[in-house]
């Protein structure tokens, strides 16, 4: 049996850019999860030719938001729920007209480094052929350091794919969107990323038997 140390991409990001969780962060997490769930459902129903209505999707998004707020134990001040409801509706409309509408979420891949470390990575969407997409519900251009690191990890997991960052900015009035093509990593950039995540995996990863992992695997060798 081969035992490897494993981490998820978001754990790598948290290790490199740690920060305490504030009430604002908890609200952002709740809203982000509600948006992810609503877009996933909207895309699925559209791909199955169910023709979901705008009112149905808006209602579902608000129900998801209420559930996530309860999960995060966040209480909203007066008027905030109505404001968020408008943001959710705007994001759904922007998504309907975006490049990712109807695309599926890929299976999580395992970046296997030196048969010692495995990093789980899953971007938000892909076209199953040549493109992967990460979506943010705020304007992440220019990239904050944590987003930049996340995008680079996804490139390791999907070599040969073109990567795009789609920002549907819920904070704008009206909600706007922008899609940016991400420059591919250079050979040196790939080597540096592999060395960094390998080191973090060896130090902080959880042991797992490789033969029991059924995720698609992308294998690398790099000098430590």
Length of the chain: 224
What's the pLDDT band for 15 if we cut at 50, 70, 90?
Answer: very high
pLDDT tens column, 153-173: 999 999 999 999 999 999 999
Last residue of a domain, one of 96, 115, 145: 96
Cα 77-82-87 angle, rounded to 5 deg: 115
Number of domains in the chain: 2
Same domain, 139 and 197: yes
User: Domain limits at 29?
Assistant: 20-96
The runs of H, that is alpha helices, within the chain are: 9-16, 23-47, 54-71, 80-96, 145-157, 187-204
Same domain, 181 and 113: yes
Tell me how far apart the alpha carbons of residues 157 and 110 are, in angstroms, rounded to a whole number. 7
Strand order in the sheet with 206-209: 206-209, 3-8, 117-121, 109-113, 217-220
Q: Which residues contact 191 (CB under 8 A, 6 or more apart)?
A: 222
Which CATH number belongs to the domain containing residue 166 in this structure? 3.90.320.10
**Does 200 score more than 80 pLDDT?**
yes
Same domain, 85 and 152: no
Same domain, 75 and 113: no
The whole-number pLDDT of residue 82 equals 93
Phi, psi of 129, rounded to the nearest 5 degrees: -130, -65
Tell me how far apart the alpha carbons of residues 134 and 32 are, in angstroms, rounded to a whole number. 13
Q: Which residues contact 168 (CB under 8 A, 6 or more apart)?
A: 91, 94, 95, 98, 135, 136, 137, 175, 176, 177
Percent of residues, the chain, with pLDDT higher than 90 = 86
- For the chain, helix, strand, coil in percent to 5 are 45, 20, 35
Same domain, 34 and 10: no
For residues 16-22, average pLDDT: 89
């Amino acid at each position: 049996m081969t035992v490897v140390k494993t981490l998820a991409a978001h754990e790598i990001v948290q290790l490199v850019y740690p920060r305490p969780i504030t009430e604002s962060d908890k609200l952002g997490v709740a809203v982000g999860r509600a948006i992810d769930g609503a877009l996933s459902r909207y895309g699925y129903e559209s791909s199955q030719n169910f023709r979901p209505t705008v009112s149905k999707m808006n209602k579902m998004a608000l129900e998801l938001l209420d559930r996530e707020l309860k999960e995060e134990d966040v209480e909203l001040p007066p008027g905030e729920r109505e404001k968020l409801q408008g943001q959710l509706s705007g994001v759904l409309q922007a998504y309907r007209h975006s490049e990712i509408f109807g695309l599926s979420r890929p299976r999580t891949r395992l970046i296997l480094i030196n048969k010692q470390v495995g990093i789980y990575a899953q971007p938000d969407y892909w076209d199953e052929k040549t493109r992967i997409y990460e979506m943010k519900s705020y304007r992440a251009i220019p990239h904050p350091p944590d987003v930049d690191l996340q995008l680079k990890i996804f490139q390791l997991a999907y070599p040969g794919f073109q990567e795009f960052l789609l920002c549907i900015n819920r904070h704008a009035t009206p909600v706007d969107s922008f899609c940016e093509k991400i420059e591919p990593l250079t050979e040196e950039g790939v080597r540096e990323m592999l060395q960094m995540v390998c080191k973090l995996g060896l130090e902080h990863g959880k042991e797992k038997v490789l033969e029991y992992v059924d995720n698609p695997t992308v294998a690398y060798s790099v000098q430590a």
